[in-house]
């Protein structure tokens, strides 16, 4: 399988580099952030660190969408929700009917956008408990060793993975790349469980500019986690959604990821905030609040946290074009 990664940020670079180095796959990178593209070309690759150590140059090939003429079997998409439509429009001439696409972006909404460019049966979703960030253009940091990584993947249309040779091939390549994938069968349950995960660590750590491990050292961290998880699961229940795992298992996953697997990690939402970019909170806590609101349940905590994060954006001088959530009258 040949891969092309759209979005050479922290996560896109990590997936692509690991597929290239550990699984021996041919990987191309597509990006639209000019400083990143030009720095990678100037250096002859991307500098990669592991937990802020062992910084070294990894040769990778990167193109702007308009320059690329490759024909990958699998597109891997890692973009911010707000960037997705514009970048996919620029990449649209590159997409062919035999190709498939995989994405494990944060939040929800990107699969409907991808579906405008790829057939439903050619879309694979994922959720990743894998940490990565950027020190700057062409300079990325992976957090957590090979044993700390884990991810789920599922066909967007929920078809049986047993007879899907493409999904099995992607799974095998991700396994060889030390991404530790698991194939699951409930697409929405998979996605919603990751949104709940991000609604705690991404949002709270961003507002207070904390690493995951710093959050977990706070005496009230587990209690705060339990409150947000409980409300999110209740919203999902009102919507008839069954999440992967239970409230208790979700809390344990969050606490273990933050305190043991990735204590040095800053969430991507924090990186956006501190660099003056709008965050994805409306696709995470805001999405949970909307699911609840649409099914007669008010998520007071998630509504509040969403507005708190927008307030943090305001404090950083970030103009957010549109708030997807509205405060409840209840």
Q: What string of pLDDT tens digits covers the 330 residues of the chain?
A: 999 999 999 999 999 999 999 999 999 999 999 999 999 999 999 999 999 999 999 999 999 999 999 999 999 999 999 899 999 999 999 999 999 999 999 988 899 999 999 999 999 999 999 999 999 999 999 988 878 899 999 999 988 778 899 999 999 999 999 999 999 999 999 999 999 999 999 999 999 999 999 999 999 999 999 999 999 999 999 999 999 889 999 999 999 999 999 999 999 899 899 989 899 999 999 999 999 999 999 999 999 999 999 999 999 998 755 544 444 433
CA nearest to 133, candidates 236, 243, 195, 212: 212
Alpha helices in 181-299 (DSSP H): 187-207, 212-216, 221-238, 247-256, 268-274, 285-294
6 DSSP 8-state letter: E
Contact 63, 8 (CB under 8 A): no
Q: Ramachandran region of residue 166, left (φ > 0), alpha (ψ -120 to 50) or beta? A: alpha
What is the Cα–Cα distance from 30 to 73, expressed in whole angstroms? 15
Going from N- to C-terminal start, the domains of the chain cover 3-185, 189-315
End-to-end CA distance of the chain: 52
Position 69 scores a pLDDT of 97
Tell me how far CA of residue 169 lies from CA of 16, 22, 119, 173, 175, in angstroms: 16, 15, 19, 6, 10
Position 329 scores a pLDDT of 39
Contact 31, 80 (CB under 8 A): no
60 DSSP 8-state letter: -
| pTM assigned to the model | 0.86
User: What is the four-CA torsion angle of 64, 66, 70, 73, rounded to 10 degrees?
Assistant: 80
Q: Does domain 189-315 have CATH number 3.40.50.11740?
A: no
The CATH code of the domain at 3-185 is 3.40.50.720
Shared fold status for 3-185 and 189-315? no
């Amino acid at each position: 399988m040949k891969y092309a990664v759209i979005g050479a940020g922290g996560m896109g670079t990590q997936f692509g580099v690991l597929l290239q180095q550990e699984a021996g796959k041919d990987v191309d990178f597509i990006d639209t952030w000019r400083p990143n593209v030009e720095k990678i070309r100037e250096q002859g690759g991307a500098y990669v660190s592991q937990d802020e150590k062992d910084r070294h140059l990894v040769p990778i090939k990167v193109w702007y969408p308009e320059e690329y003429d490759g024909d990958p079997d699998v597109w891997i998409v890692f973009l911010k929700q707000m960037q997705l439509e514009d970048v996919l429009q620029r990449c649209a001439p590159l997409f062919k009917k035999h190709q498939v696409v995989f994405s494990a972006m944060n939040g929800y909404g990107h699969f409907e956008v991808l579906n405008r460019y790829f057939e439903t049966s050619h879309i694979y979703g994922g959720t990743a408990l894998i940490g990565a960030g950027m020190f700057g253009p062409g300079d990325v940091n992976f957090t957590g060793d090979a044993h700390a990584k884990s991810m789920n993947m599922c066909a967007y249309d929920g078809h049986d993975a047993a007879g899907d040779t493409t999904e099995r091939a992607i799974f095998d390549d991700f396994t060889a790349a030390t991404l530790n994938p698991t194939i699951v069968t409930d697409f929405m349950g998979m996605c919603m469980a990751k949104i709940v995960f991000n609604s705690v660590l991404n949002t709270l750590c961003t507002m207070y500019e904390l690493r995951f491990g710093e959050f977990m050292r706070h005496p009230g961290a587990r209690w705060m986690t339990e409150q947000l998880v409980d409300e999110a699961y209740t919203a999902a229940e009102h919507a008839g959604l069954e999440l992967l795992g239970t409230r208790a298992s979700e809390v344990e996953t969050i606490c273990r990821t933050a305190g043991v697997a990735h204590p040095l990690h800053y969430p991507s939402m924090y990186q956006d905030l501190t660099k003056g970019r709008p965050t994805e909170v409306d696709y995470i806590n805001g999405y949970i609040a909307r699911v609840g609101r649409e099914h007669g349940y008010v998520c007071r905590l998630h509504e509040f946290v969403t507005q708190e994060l927008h307030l943090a954006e305001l404090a950083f001088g970030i103009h957010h074009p549109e708030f997807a959530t509205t405060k409840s009258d209840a």
